[in-house]
Structure 1
Amino acid sequence: MEIRRMMPPFGSLGHPEKKRGQGERVGPHCFELLTVLGKGAYGKVFQVRKVQGPQTGKIFAMKVLKKAKIVCNAKDTAHTRAEREILEKVRHPFIVDLLYAFQTGGKLYLILECLSGGELFMQLEKEGIFMEDTACFYLGEITMALGHLHSNGIIYRDLKPENIMLCRQGHIKLTDFGLSKESIHDGSITHTFCGTIEYMAPEILTRSGHNRAVDWWSLGALMHDMLTGSPPFTAENRKKTIDKILKCKVNLPPYLTIDARDLIKKLLKKNQAQRIGSGKGDAADIQKHPFFRHISWEELLNKTVEPPYKPQLHSEEDTSQFDTWFTRQTPVDSPDDTTLSSSAELAFAGFSFVAPSVLESLKEGFSFEPRSRHVRRHNSSPRTPVSPLKFSPAGPFKSSLDGEPDLFSPTSPPAAPPPVPLENGPASQPIKTPSRNKKKKIHRR
């Protein structure tokens, strides 16, 4: 099923329009599969090259989801729709771009910019901790991205190093909007239990109702992780970690500057009303903090500030920053002759999309499929394995609460894959920490 530009919004009632104006016809045949970048319970993500129409020869990431698996659960469908709508709505230098969306009888396709610089997680793994000027750069770009989401009524809810990607120039891009929530404006709250435990705000854990302030708590946890080697509250199991988040004070190492200590403490206020960024100023209040006093926000937004790290890439197709467990696999988009009922097909009406920017030059960027992650260990806080669940690339495993699903992504180890061959700031010298193990996002439905 090929699609045309100017389709109705995803989730609209009725079938997609057959034609409204002229636009590019696009489908799976327009893309050549190059490399597997990741796999999930509902599909795969590939690096692809466009072989027809505008932007022929350009490299993208293609996320492929199986309709039959998604449509089995209404909440899976709803979160696939939410991710798709958010990706269409949001355009920002530090958020991944959606270029195309289309569907066949059995599959959904999202074509996103291919961010070849890999995860910020990998840089933390390599460095142990960041110098404060390095952390300031990344935190500044992330703050602007979150502020843009909030201005559109969207809360992100899963900020962590694994969801922050680097473009080939070294700038960040937020990816993976499966846990995001729309229509959260001033005064609005939601009660979903969601996120990754170590970065999860207290008000989510207590289910007392939360808003965009949860993203600023996660920013504080991320800042702590960047500057010390671990999130602020970790323990040997999930329950003890939650207890620490709810009851313990944050302990900061003495080598942090006064400004860094002050910002972390203000971001990690357990009372969300007292947390910096929780007021009407939102991101602007954080940007005014002395920790960012050397940042020119206009230059940062325009990407004229030199990133502290530039990925070493040999070509546009270079996938050296991705896990070889995936990149060594043969890229195959298996045939799918599944036929859904008319009512099931209605769930995907209006999915098709062609970005207005498709006929213009694209910024360098990125997209990837979240993958199963091993237990992550921080300093002296080893993880206790948690029974793994399958992850959903479009939206997490969840259970109903007040009409909205629970979305939960604590630490949990997947089955280990077969071994494969591997490939100055105000702070003191970096302290190397033990190897970080990636968190796997698990979702309870």
Structure 2
Amino acid sequence: MVEELCEGGELLDRLVNKRALGSEKEVAAIMSNLLFAVKYLHSHQVAHRDLTAANILFASKDGDPSSLRIVDFGFAKQSRAENGMLMTPCYTAQFVAPEVLRKQGYDRSCDVWSLGVLLHTMLTGFTPFAMGPNDTPDQILQRVGDGKISMTHPVWESISEDAKDLVKKMLDVDPNRRVTAKQAVQHKWFGHKETLPDRPIQEVKGEPLDMTDVKLQTCLNQTYKAMSSAPSVTLRPVGSSALAKRRMKDIIYANYAKNVSANAYCRMDHTLSPTRPPVTKMFCRTKL
């Protein structure tokens, strides 16, 4: 098997190692390319389900946004249910959508949520749900489940209203209100991306941010740890799981329908079949 060589490294490394945050113009170019890729996946009913900065690579050494590649499709799945929902929870904690945590069934919009987290991080230099290195896994996952976003940090003053609007729409806790990938690529922020500021965001603000480099890496590590160290699930009989109960209902209904059909056939067969004469009549001689 031969795969494309991606010499530019991970998007995560660029987020952590750059001394200055990227400009809005650069962030818009990156996000636009990612959304177009996800839009293509979703048009084929495929959900990636683990879109993180570590799973996005640059093919070119210079970090050209047009060379971005989405990798690691180990959790990817094509929708097969009649309602288009996926049931198996697969995620990296920092980028997981609330509906995935609730295990209530989720669709391809969970990928948009993950890109919303990435957009927030690229614009501000810090993650939306990990506030510091001392955050516990439960605290991080609780914030993800609540879906509440704060835009009170001074860095947001240097970010355009259109960018803020897109972040809010991509991180809407309700998947039914959340923008789709198709809607997101048509957002007005991308309509004038060529005229967006091309100076690093922290220079626009005029003061350094303390969430680049080490602290950003620490917050990302804490959120990855939240996923792996979450409270273990209590083992119960297989039959008590939601999936087993759902399948049992299907089996019971199928057996019921089968019995109803069989009984109806028997009644119909009894009604239409000719009455068989008694055995004595079959052997009696006919009188002349």
TM beyond 0.5: yes
Return the alpha-carbon distance in structure 1 between the equivalents of residues 46 and 150 of structure 2.
31
Counterpart check, 1:157 vs 2:60: no
User: Normalising by structure 1, what TM-score?
Assistant: 0.43
Corresponding residue for 1:241? Answer: 140
Shift of 1:431: 3.1
The equivalent residue for 2:243 is none
AA paired with 1:294? H
TM-score normalised over the length of structure 2 = 0.64
**Alignment correspondent of 2:172:** 269
Aligned residue number for residue 32 of structure 1: none
Per the TM alignment, residue 187 of structure 1 is displaced from its structure 2 partner at its CA by 3.3
Are 1:116 and 2:7 an aligned pair? yes
Q: Distance in 2 between matches of 1:269 and 1:260?
A: 14
Does structure 2 conserve the Cα–Cα contact (< 8 Å) formed by 1:154 and 1:184? Answer: no
Structure 1: how far apart are the matches of 2:144 and 2:82?
A: 25
CA deviation profile, 1:28-78 (whole Å, cap 9, x unmatched): xxxxxxxxxxxxxxxxxxxxxxxxxxxxxxxxxxxxxxxxxxxxxxxxxxx
Q: Work out which of the two has the higher radius of gyration on C-alpha atoms and give 1 or 2.
A: 2
Counterpart code for 1:137? A
Equivalent residue of 1:173, what SS? strand
Question: What one-letter code is carried by the residue in structure 1 that aligns with 2:22?
Answer: F
Q: Distance in 2 between matches of 1:185 and 1:295?
A: 38
Bigger fraction of residues in helix: 2
Task: Call closer, same or farther: CA 1:121–1:188 in 2, change over 3 Å.
Answer: same
Q: Write out aligned runs for 1:29-108 (5 A).
A: 100=1
Secondary structure, in 3 states, of the residue corresponding to 2:209? Answer: coil
Q: Does 1:208 align with 2:107?
A: no
C-alpha displacement of 1:184: 5.3
User: Is the contact made by 1:153 and 1:185 (CA closer than 8 Å) also made in structure 2?
Assistant: no
Shift of 1:241: 0.7
Closer, same or farther: CA 248–143 of 1 in aligned 2, 3 Å: closer
Deviation, 1:255, is: 2.3
Matched, 1:148 2:43: no
Q: Is the 8 A contact 1:161 1:222 kept in 2?
A: yes
Structure 1: 5+ residue runs without aligned partners? 1-99, 101-110, 278-282, 297-423
Tell me: CA distance 1:275–1:199, structure 2 relative to 1, closer, same or farther (3 Å).
same
Residue number among 91, 110, 124 corresponding to 1:195 in the alignment:
91
Measured at CA, do residues 230 and 184 of structure 1 come closer, stay the same or move farther in structure 2, by a change above 3 Å? farther
* Aligned residue pairs, count: 204
The answer to whether the 8 Å contact 1:134/1:425 transfers is: no
1:426 positional shift: 8.7
Post-superposition CA distance 1:69-109 (Å, at most 9, x none): xxxxxxxxxxxxxxxxxxxxxxxxxxxxxxx3xxxxxxxxx
Structure 2: how far apart are the matches of 1:285 and 1:425?
27
Specify the alignment match of 2:182 in structure 1: 284
Question: What is the percent sequence identity of the aligned residues?
Answer: 29
Alignment CA distance shift 1:184-1:431 (3 Å): farther
- Paired with 2:21 and 2:4, the residues of 1 have a C-alpha distance of 28
